[in-house]
A and B are shown apart, each in its own frame.
Chain A
Amino acid sequence: MAVGVGGAGFIGIAHETVMGTYVAPTTYVPVLSEGLNYTEDRYISPAIRGKTIASLVKQGFYHAEGDIDWEVDTALLPYFLYIMRLAIVKTGAGPYTYTCTLASGASSGIGGANATQKTMSITIVRNGRVFKYVGCVIPSYNFRVEDGVLKSNMSVMGLGETGLNADTPPTASFAARKMFGADAHTVAVDVAGTSPTFSTPSNDFNGFTFAVNDNGAAQNRIRPSRQASYISFGETEATIATQLDFQDRTEMDAFIATTGKALRLTSSNVPASDQVQITAYNAVYTAYGVQLGSIGDIVMADTELRLIDIASGTPFQIVQTSTTSIT
Chain B
Amino acid sequence: MSDFQISIHHPDFPNDTEFEVEGVGLVKNGGSLTVTEEMQARYKADRGIDLKDSLEESPIIGVGKAKANVTTGKRTPNEQRSDDMMQQVGEVAVPGTAAEADPAGVNHVSQEGGES
A positions within 8 Å CB-CB of B: 10, 14, 20-27, 62, 75, 94, 128, 132, 134, 159-164, 168-176, 225-227, 323-327
Contact = CB atoms under 8 A, between A and B. Distances in A.
Contacts of B53: 168
B109 A132 contact: yes
Contact of B115 (A94, A161, A175): A161
A75 B29 CA distance: 14
A20 B110 CA distance: 9
Contacts of A169: 47, 49, 54, 57
A226 B114 CA distance: 12
A28 B114 CA distance: 22
A171 to B, nearest CB: 4
Contacts of A325: 11-13
A161 B114 contact: yes
B108 A173 contact: no
A26 B14 contact: no
B21 A173 contact: yes
Nearest to A20: B111
A249 B61 CA distance: 60
B58 A25 contact: yes
Given A128-B48, A171-B54, A134 B14 contact: no
Contact of B12 (A21, A164, A176, A326): A326
Nearest to B58: A170
A325 B10 CA distance: 10
A170 B47 contact: no
A325 B12 CA distance: 5
A134 B112 CA distance: 10
Nearest to A226: B115
Nearest to B52: A171
Interface footprint category on B: 35 or more
A168 B57 contact: yes
Interface in B11-62: 11-14, 17-24, 27, 47-49, 51, 53-55, 57-61
B114 A175 contact: no
Contacts of A226: 112, 115
B59 A24 contact: yes
A173 B8 contact: yes
Interface in B85-111: 107-111
A176 B17 contact: yes
Contact of B110 (A25, A62, A162, A173): A162
Contact of B111 (A128, A134, A163): A134
A225 B53 CA distance: 31
A225 B111 contact: yes
Contact of B112 (A24, A227, A326): A227
A174 B60 CA distance: 12
Contact of B47 (A26, A75, A128, A162): A128
Nearest to B107: A24
